[in-house]
Structure 1
Amino acid sequence: MNHFVSMKNLSEHEMLQLIKLTNDFEINGIPHFNEKIFAANLFFEPSTRTKMSFVVAQKKLGIETLDFHAEASSLLKGESMYDTAKTFEAIGAQLLVVRHPEDHAVQELAKRMTIPVINAGDGSGEHPTQSLLDLYTMYQEFQSFKGLNVVIIGDIKHSRVARSNAYALKTLGANVYLSTKKEWQDETLDFPYIDIDDAVAISDVVMLLRVQLERHQDNELLNDAAYLEQYGLTKKREQNMLRHAIIMHPAPVNRGVEIDSDLVESKRSRIFKQMENGVVARMAIIYHLFQTRGIGHATAFNKRKTSISK
């Protein structure tokens, strides 16, 4: 694995290998590279959870992060994303973590780079590191994906998370369902669309998506209460979920829009657990990429906790 830019082309073995490595880090502690490694986090689009969890993951691995702010960079002078990336490579970066608003931009960049590239989200394309942490969260709950019923509900058409998770879950043997209003369906995704009330009644995992109005060309206005009642997870719908079923959301969460605010931190919710898992999952991706390429050699596990909340 030279880069980590898509879940679509990963095999079941590769996904399970990364999930098991994530679990190994969680249980046994954190490896630490014994030679100096530099990483550049190139975020051309706003981010809180993804960017900060990458920073924490890198620091826990002993990796130095190179600062970058698009609004104060040579992009304002006309420099391309590619030349920006090559600049960081030239000055010593050994890893690029890239988020970009254009679909497939990160995949195309990776083809031209000699150092590993991680896709931290590309437009409405994919979000593979979010997918891995989501898979790990499900693994912690169910220990298997075979026959697991997962429904992804919300702004499917504009969601990179929906794509990465749908591809990955299908490869791992889960049954994937999609639910949204007709205007937000994406027929390029070969998965069945079902009514939200039917979906919550049969699913082991109910995953909500943020309504991404910034990607809607018509910039439509949204009636929050009406959307929640028709297409969101209300407390009434939550009562019809299977007893063991869990609630997930990649965040940021629009409380009272895609999910009732009271459910965000309910017993079923794994939303903040997902965020916690983001650090260790991204550590596993970085570690695996470097070990595959022979970049750096880790010391023995030092038993430090991976959680950033403890």
Structure 2
Amino acid sequence: MRQLRTLNDLTLPELQTLLTKADKDAKSSYWKKTEQPIVANMFYEPSTRTKCSFEMAEKQLGIDIISFDVSHSSVQKGESLYDTAKTMEALGCQALIIRHPEKKYFQQLDGLTIPVINAGDGAGDHPTQSLLDLLTIKQEFQRFESLHVVICGDIRHSRVAHTNGQILEKLGAKVSYSGPLEWMDPDLKEDQYLTMDEAVEQADVLMLLRIQNERHDGQGGYTKETYHKQYGLTVAREKQMKKHSIIMHPAPINRDVEIADELVECARSRIFKQMKNGVHVRKAVLAHVLNLKGEKRYDDVI
């Protein structure tokens, strides 16, 4: 695996290997510290969990970090993404982690000789978020086949919905969607849409999304109260979920909008477990891309 731009860069065996290694790291630190590679973290959009968990993963792997601040860079003078990335390469970085508002921004970077890890491209893909979501589901159910995953919310504008929907279907899960009809993907099949009341009754995994207001050109159309009542996971709706069902959310969370405040840390919520898994998954991705080695005591189970 040379790049990680979308999960389509991975074969299913490579995907399963990443999840297995990340799970081993979750149970006991798997990766050996090596000589110090240098990686540049280039975030053109705000980020808390993705940026910080990449930094935590890098520190735990012994990787030196070049922190790139867009607001104090030559981007403000008109420098292109390609020229900025080539600069990082020329300075000695061995990989780039990039979040950018432009969908498929990585197509501009084919002239690089170092790997690019996609930390989110507009409303396109978010492969490491999807990997941590998959790891969380795998830890819970030990399978993907025949699980019913319902993704709820602002589907059209969500890179998480796009990436997760595709890969979960490849892995054998049934994927349905819920939320405002005007925010559904236009390619959605009619039998994939559920009302929120149907979603909570049918889902094994209820994956909630925030409203992507920054991609709506200022036209959200719902008050917080209205959205929560019509499309949110209310306390009453949570009571209708299956006993074994879990709640997921990529965060940031808008409490009392897509999910009731008291449900964020309820017994069936895996939201903060997802965040913890983000470090393990990003360590696995970085180690794969940089060809780092794991502890030999785990080799027989990989």
Superposition TM-score, scaled by structure 2 size:
0.94
> In the TM superposition, what are the counterparts of 1:52-63 in structure 2 within 5 Å?
52-63=52-63
Which residue of 2 is the match for residue 276 of structure 1? 276
> In the TM superposition, what are the counterparts of 1:35-50 in structure 2 within 5 Å?
35-50=35-50
What's the secondary structure of 2:7's corresponding residue? Answer: coil
Q: Which amino acid aligns with 2:46?
A: P
Q: Which amino acid aligns with 1:246?
A: I
1:298 correspondence with 2:296:
no
1:69 correspondence with 2:69:
yes
Question: Which of structure 1's runs of 4+ aligned residues deviate more than 4 A?
Answer: none
What's the secondary structure of 1:157's corresponding residue? Answer: coil
Distance 1:261 1:299, change over 3 A: closer
Which residue of 1 is the match for residue 181 of structure 2? 182
1:169-191 CA distance string (max 9 Å, x none):
01110000011111101123568
Between the aligned partners of 1:109 and 1:116, the Cα distance in structure 2 is: 13
Segments of 5+ residues of structure 1 without an aligned counterpart are 292-296, 304-310
Matched pairs, number? 297
What's the secondary structure of 2:68's corresponding residue? Answer: coil
Between the aligned partners of 2:160 and 2:226, the Cα distance in structure 1 is: 24
1:23 correspondence with 2:23:
yes
What's the secondary structure of 1:99's corresponding residue? Answer: strand
Alignment RMSD: 1.7
Say if 1:41 and 1:97, in contact at 8 Å, map to a contact too.
yes
Which residue of 1 is the match for residue 219 of structure 2? 219
Identity over aligned pairs, percent: 49
Deviation at 1:238, TM superposition (A): 0.4
Segments of 5+ residues of structure 2 without an aligned counterpart are none
Which residue of 1 is the match for residue 162 of structure 2? 163
What's the secondary structure of 2:255's corresponding residue? Answer: coil
Between the aligned partners of 2:44 and 2:258, the Cα distance in structure 1 is: 26
Which residue of 2 is the match for residue 233 of structure 1? 233
Distance 1:283 1:235, change over 3 A: same
1:101-133 CA distance string (max 9 Å, x none):
111113x14433211111101110010000000
Which residue of 2 is the match for residue 146 of structure 1? 145
Between the aligned partners of 1:24 and 1:31, the Cα distance in structure 2 is: 9
Say if 1:178 and 1:192, in contact at 8 Å, map to a contact too.
yes
1:45-88 CA distance string (max 9 Å, x none):
00011000000000100000002100000101111111111101
1:173 correspondence with 2:172:
yes
Say if 2:82 and 2:109, in contact at 8 Å, map to a contact too.
no
Q: Which amino acid aligns with 2:271?
A: I
What's the secondary structure of 1:250's corresponding residue? Answer: coil
Between the aligned partners of 1:182 and 1:300, the Cα distance in structure 2 is: 49
> In the TM superposition, what are the counterparts of 1:112-131 in structure 2 within 5 Å?
112-131=111-130
What's the secondary structure of 2:156's corresponding residue? Answer: helix
Which gives a bigger RCO, structure 1 or 2 (Cα 8 Å, sep 6+)?
A: 1
Q: Which 10-residue stretch deviates more, 29-38 or 123-132? A: 29-38
Which residue of 2 is the match for residue 102 of structure 1? 102
Superposition TM-score, scaled by structure 1 size:
0.92
Between the aligned partners of 1:116 and 1:228, the Cα distance in structure 2 is: 41
Distance 1:300 1:287, change over 3 A: same
What's the secondary structure of 2:117's corresponding residue? Answer: strand
What's the secondary structure of 1:97's corresponding residue? Answer: strand
Q: Which 10-residue stretch deviates more, 65-74 or 190-199? A: 190-199
Say if 1:11 and 1:171, in contact at 8 Å, map to a contact too.
no
Q: Which amino acid aligns with 1:298?
A: K
Q: Which 10-residue stretch deviates more, 31-40 or 132-141? A: 31-40
1:264 correspondence with 2:259:
no
1:254-275 CA distance string (max 9 Å, x none):
0011011110010010001100
Say if 2:54 and 2:279, in contact at 8 Å, map to a contact too.
yes
Between the aligned partners of 2:183 and 2:280, the Cα distance in structure 1 is: 32
What's the secondary structure of 2:243's corresponding residue? Answer: coil
Which residue of 2 is the match for residue 306 of structure 1? none
Q: Which amino acid aligns with 1:74?
A: S
1:208-257 CA distance string (max 9 Å, x none):
00101110035334310110110110011100100000000000000011
